Structure formats: C-alpha cells, structure tokens
Amino acid sequence: MLRIIDRYLLRELALSFLGVTAVLLLISIGETVIAVLNQVARGRVPADLLVAMIGLRSIDSLNVLLPLAVFLGVLLAYGRMYRDSEMAVLGASGLGIGGLMRPLLLLFVPIAAIAALVAFWIAPAAVRFSQHLVDEANRSLLIAGLEPGRFVSLPGREGIIYVGDMSPEGSKFTRMFVESEQLEADGTSRINIITARSGELYRDTSGGDRFLALKDGFRVEGRPGKDDFRLLRFERNDIRLADNDAVDNSEAVKRAAPTSELLESVEPLQRAELHWRLAPAISVLVLALVALPLSRTNPRQPRYASLILAVLAYIVYANFLALGRVWMVHGKMPLSAGLWWIYVPAILIALGLIRSNQRLRQRKKARA
C-alpha cells in the first residue's frame, strides 16, 4: 500500500514527466517533419509515406527523449516543491531522502524497462520497416522524380531527362532522352546526350544506389565548339542516379540490426551499438538519481538558476556517452568497459551531492 505522501509525489513526478515528454515529442516530430519533407521534395520519399515515416522516426527518437524527459521531469517537479517550501514542510514532518527516492524508483524503474524495450527491439524494428518502405518506393521511376512526357531534372541536378512512356508501377520505360554536362579541368564543359529505345530502373546488389538500365540506344559526347564529338551505339548502358540525401550504409545497417545479431557479433561497431542501446535504460535511472540533488533550490534563488546548471550537466553527460561510443568503435576504449566508466562516476557524484545536502540539513537543524 502506498502512503499518501508517496501518491502525492508520484502524481507530481508523473505529471511533470508527461508534460516534458509531450513538449520534447512535439519538438522531435517537428524536426522529423522538416527532414522528411526535404526528402519528399528531393524525390527520396513518396508523399503518401509522409505520415508513416514521421511515426517510425519518432519511435526511434524515444531513445534520446525518454532519459531527457525523466531528468527534466524530476528537476521541475521537485524543484517546484523546494521553491514553494513544500520540501521544508515534508522534511520537518520526518520525510528523508529515502522518502524522496521511493517515488522515483516506483515511477522510473518501469520507464527504464520501457526504454530498454524501445532501444533493443521496437526502435530497430521501426528503422528496418522505414528502410523497407523507402526501398520499395524507390524501385519506381515516379519516386526518382521522372514523369512520362515531361522534361525534368535528373536526381542530383546533373542534367535533363525525358521519358516517353512508363509502366504503371514506374519500373520500366520507353523512348528516353538524357542530357547532362560535366565541367572539365580547363574550365570548359562537356555534354553527354543519350537516347534509348527502352530501359528499366534497378538497384545495385548492396541495395544502395539506383541505376537506369538503358537498352538499344545512342550516346553523343563532346565539347561545344570543338570537333571532338563521339557517337556511340550501345546495346545496354547503365546510368547511376545521384542521391544527395544518401546516408552512411554502415550507420543505417547498425541502427537497423536486430539485437540478436549484435549479441552474436564480435565486431567493434556492433558491440558499441549494443552498449549504445543499453544506454537509454540505464540513463533513465542514473539521470533520475542525478536530478534529485540538483533539484534542491532556495526559495530566494532565481526560478531557473539550478535548471540551467542541471541542463549543462546533462549536456556533459550526453557528450561523454557519444564520445565513449566513438572510442569503442575505433578501439580506443575496451569493449568490456562499455559505457560504465560514465555511469559509475555520475552515480557517485549524485550520491556525494545527496550526502552533502543531508549534512547541510543536519547542520541547520543543530543550529535551530
């Protein structure tokens, strides 16, 4: 059975956590909308996948959002109670540090479990599914920005392309014309004109770049004003579609890899990713403990004085996590150490601050 004070503290912490989570989620969704709309404008993502991509990417952002929401939630909830002198009243009633930590554990241990579930299974599955949707959509020339019967810019702004007719699924075409220009070392431009009777769109074996396979056509190349033009006839000619929004394949594969594969791998990149997925769950508990002493404020202090210091502490903590991940990938940090060299000092600092606050409280009682 929970005590009345436990229920009160739980309610304050839960309301503060949910409010911060909602605000951070709105900010994250806004950034995701801008990124996805940019990809839609560049022909990387079809417009009808806009909502699905926003939802899937928002799930992936929970790995960063949940620990930060816990940290700010504790700061705001307990900080308000300190400013309103509620903590002074509770302390005079016999509520010690254990009474303040009890609601933290009751609320944030389940949240840490949810963070682990998201980081190890749900977020990677969301990344894999979003990549699958984009890969399937990019098999269509319509997504590549080509429309039958119109002259349009090549993806990557490398030239002009025209398609006479196209299959309903957008993978095959007939009567294609392509014109592109290339700047030479001497400052002159070299033009390439390609025509083809038919062709199709395909992806390479690694699943990354897209190519146009042109069949039964001609190619003319040369420099305007010069007499070095060449005319070639080909049976098949493949043209790569440039992609300005291409992401690092190793990064994409790492984020989408199932946790079971990471457990079986001995590669530094995969082992570092495994430690990185463990970070959100542990950070929820570590940051909740760190926020407990940092939330202590004097009613006479400025309202957000301690909050600014706490946010700076979080930035240092998050940067050390990112630095530790990079060090593990490049072999500068043993994989067995993981990120515990960051968690343990953070916990010790939090315990030291809690003990210091308790001593200060005891001295004030002795003087009284």
108 vs 172, residue with greater confidence: 108
| Type of residue numbered 162 | Y
**Residue-wise pLDDT tens digits, 179-226:** 888 777 777 788 888 899 988 877 665 555 677 788 999 988 888 877
Q: At what angle do helices 340-367 and 305-329 cross, to 10 degrees?
A: 160
pLDDT given at position 248: 44
pLDDT given at position 260: 85
Among candidates 283, 344, 264, 256, which has minimal Cα distance to 108? 283
Mean pLDDT value across the chain: 82
CB–CB of 70/109 below 8 Å? no
**Residue-wise pLDDT tens digits, 289-314:** 999 988 887 767 666 667 788 889 99
- Per-residue burial over 132-171, b = 16 or more CB atoms within 10 Å of its CB, e = otherwise: ebbeebbbbbbbbbbebeeeeebbbebbebbbeebeeebe
**Residue-wise pLDDT tens digits, 86-96:** 888 887 777 87
pLDDT given at position 247: 43
What is the distance between the alpha carbons of residues 191 and 367, in angstroms, rounded to a whole number?
A: 88
CB–CB of 130/56 below 8 Å? yes
pLDDT given at position 244: 44
CB–CB of 294/349 below 8 Å? no
Among candidates 155, 149, 207, which has minimal Cα distance to 177? 149
